Amino acid sequence: KNEVEQSPQNLTAQEGEFITINCSYSVGISALHWLQQHPGGGIVSLFMLSSGKKKHGRLIATINIQEKHSSLHITASHPRDSAVYICAVGGQGAQKLVFGQGTRLTINP
Amino acid sequence: DTGVSQDPRHKITKRGQNVTFRCDPISEHNRLYWYRQTLGQGPEFLTYFQNEAQLEKSRLLSNRFSAERPKGSFSTLEIQRTEQGDSAMYLCASRKGSGNTIYFGEGSWLTVV
């Protein structure tokens, strides 16, 4: 079992739909990151959080430390949101990040 | 553009050849990471530098792989005697401190034929 599991692996939705991507992890962490990767490789950090909830524009990230679970929500989804969304965790005392396998999101117009 | 530069962006090489990738992190970032990503998978940790010191290496980093960060600024990742299984994207990332946002480069794609 991977240390970081994401669901779903693939998600296709219509423009305007509310999107939820889930991340579960099995190790103690100091922080959890949500990342976005577009075709061609570049990865952009969306959120880094260790508790509670963060919001940036149409993106919302939540984390439940007790349940070792995080969710990324996208409101009013748009085709430009189409990308791979990756959850990564930084372990306690560890410098490296451990990544989930990613969720491929496609938003159709 | 995140400010982390990688070069070359793409490299096609014959099996058995050596390749070197370069990463220029954001200038004030003392932490630098190398990750490897294959198609359909999330990145996997390779190695980590704090300033010029290589503090952690993954078991994925066989003795054909070597990384350096000689002056605590740019870093190089060399793969000797490349194998087809080395084909992947090699990602560099940097951050200012362990509690700060991490910034990724665009990646260097390696194809070994």
Task: Choose among B42, B56, B100: nearest Cβ to A96.
Answer: B56
Q: A86 pLDDT exceeds 70?
A: yes
Q: What span, in angstroms and rounded, lies between the C-alpha atoms of A82 and A97?
A: 24
Tell me the shortest Cα–Cα distance from A77 to chain B, in angstroms. Answer: 23
**Mean pLDDT computed over every residue of chain B:** 92
pLDDT of residue A90: 86
Q: What span, in angstroms and rounded, lies between the C-alpha atoms of B65 and B19?
A: 10
Give the dihedral of Cα atoms A71, A76, A81, A86; nearest 10 deg.
0
pLDDT of residue A2: 76
Is the Cβ pair A43, B91 closer than 8 Å? yes
Q: Measured on CA atoms in the order B78, B9, B56, B3, is the torsion positive or negative?
A: positive
pLDDT of residue A1: 63
Residue percentage of chain B with pLDDT more than 90: 77
Least confident of A66-70, B41-45, B59-63, B79-83: B59-63
pLDDT grade for A93, boundaries at 50, 70 and 90: low
Residues of chain B neighbouring A10 (CB-CB closer than 8 A) = none
pLDDT tens figures, B92-112: 999 987 667 889 999 999 999
pLDDT of residue B12: 98
**Mean pLDDT computed over every residue of chain A:** 92
pLDDT of residue A42: 84
Tell me if residue B94 falls in helix, strand or coil: strand
CA angle A69, A72, A74 (to 5 degrees): 160
Is the Cβ pair B107, A44 closer than 8 Å? no
pLDDT of residue A92: 65
Q: Is A46 on the interface with B (CB under 8 A)?
A: no
Q: A96 pLDDT exceeds 80?
A: yes
pLDDT of residue A41: 72
Q: How far apart are the first and last CA of chain A?
A: 36
pLDDT of residue A94: 63
Q: A59 pLDDT exceeds 80?
A: yes
DSSP bridge pairs for B90: B36, B108
pLDDT tens figures, B68-85: 999 889 999 999 999 999
